[in-house]
Amino acid sequence: MTEDAHTALKFQRLGWKSAFLDIPLAAGLATERLVVHVIQRTRWARGMTQIFRLDNPLLGRGLTFQQRLCYLSAMLYYQFALPRVVFVTAPLAYLLFNLNIIYSSASLIVSYALPHLFLAIYVGSRMNGRYRYSFWGEIYDIVLAFHLVLPTLVTMIFPKRGKFNVTDKGGLLDVGYFDFTVVRPHLVVACLLGLGWWSVSSAPSVTTTLAQTRTLSR
């Protein structure tokens, strides 16, 4: 996919025109295992990050403003990994180390965050409801995030590192099984979150701390 995107970028810089044909003209094999799917998406993320660093669509001549934004959106999509990992692991700072990331009352946080979450889900559903569901989209991104965060960060700093490889396809799976190697970081984070929640909820000073927080917020 990345080589196709870079080829199209170079052609359109030269003034070539592109057209959308609403007709299926090609077909391809999908990955059969989650681990292979992660490997494929890691390669795509690295490739799109390399294009962003080495042939940035915002720079140079030949592209219209709309084309620059379109290519930029495609390249920056794979940078979702770091915000997702931070979002999932941030509660551990409070649960395990008693560090407050946001000094505010729960009601004030909800008053700001809830409308944002509602509008984000609503707009996403209105725009992509037929093709991508917000809830499953979040699950999908979190599954990939832990595996994409390091390759995208390294490639952003050292864009010429990495090598091209082809994804294995065409295999047959007779029985279903659990891809433990892929979800290992997710299980570790889930266990840490559960442990942190249990330690906080079972601590005798929780009630006192909550009361103090409510008093300070007033």
Q: What is the pLDDT of residues 24-65, one digit of tens each?
A: 877 766 777 778 888 888 888 998 989 899 888 888 888 889
Which two structure tokens, joined as six digits, stand for 127?
């725009």
- Residue 34 structural domain: 2-14+29-217
The Cα–Cα gap between 70 and 64 comes to 10
- Any domain includes 193: yes
Domains: count for the chain = 1
The Cα–Cα gap between 45 and 161 comes to 13
pLDDT at 75 over 70: yes
pLDDT at 168: 57
- Any domain includes 107: yes
pLDDT at 201: 76
What pLDDT, in 10s, does the model give residues 104-131?
777 888 898 889 888 888 888 888 767 7
User: Angle at CA 72, nearest 5°, toward 67 and 77?
Assistant: 135
Side-chain half-sphere exposure of 19, counting CA atoms within 13 A:
3
- Any domain includes 133: yes
pLDDT at 69: 92
pLDDT at 174: 59
pLDDT at 165: 59
Which two structure tokens, joined as six digits, stand for 22?
């609403």
pLDDT at 193: 86
pLDDT at 173: 57
- Any domain includes 22: no
The Cα–Cα gap between 180 and 33 comes to 12
- Any domain includes 55: yes
0.85 exceeded by pTM: no
- Any domain includes 174: yes
- Any domain includes 24: no
pLDDT at 216: 45
What pLDDT, in 10s, does the model give residues 165-180?
555 555 555 566 677 7
What pLDDT, in 10s, does the model give residues 182-209?
888 888 988 988 888 887 777 665 544 4
Residue 217 confidence class, pLDDT cut points 50, 70, 90? very low
- Any domain includes 103: yes
What pLDDT, in 10s, does the model give residues 1-29?
788 888 888 888 888 888 888 888 777 66
How would you write the chain as a 3-class SS string?
A: CHHHHHHHHHHHHCCCCCCCCCCCCCCCCCCCCHHHHHHHHHHHHHHHHHHHHHCCCCCCCCCCHHHHHHHHHHHHHHHHHHHHHHHHHCHHHHHHHCCCCCCCCHHHHHHHHHHHHHHHHHHHHHHHCCCCCHHHHHHHHHHHHHHHHHHHHHHHHCCCCCCCCCCCCCCCCCCCCCCHHHHHHHHHHHHHHHHHHHHHHHCCCHHHHHHHHHHHHC
pLDDT at 179: 74
Length of the chain, please? Answer: 218
Which two structure tokens, joined as six digits, stand for 28?
């391809």
Percent above pLDDT 70 for the chain? 83
pLDDT at 135 over 50: yes
Q: What is the mean pLDDT of residues 129-150?
A: 83
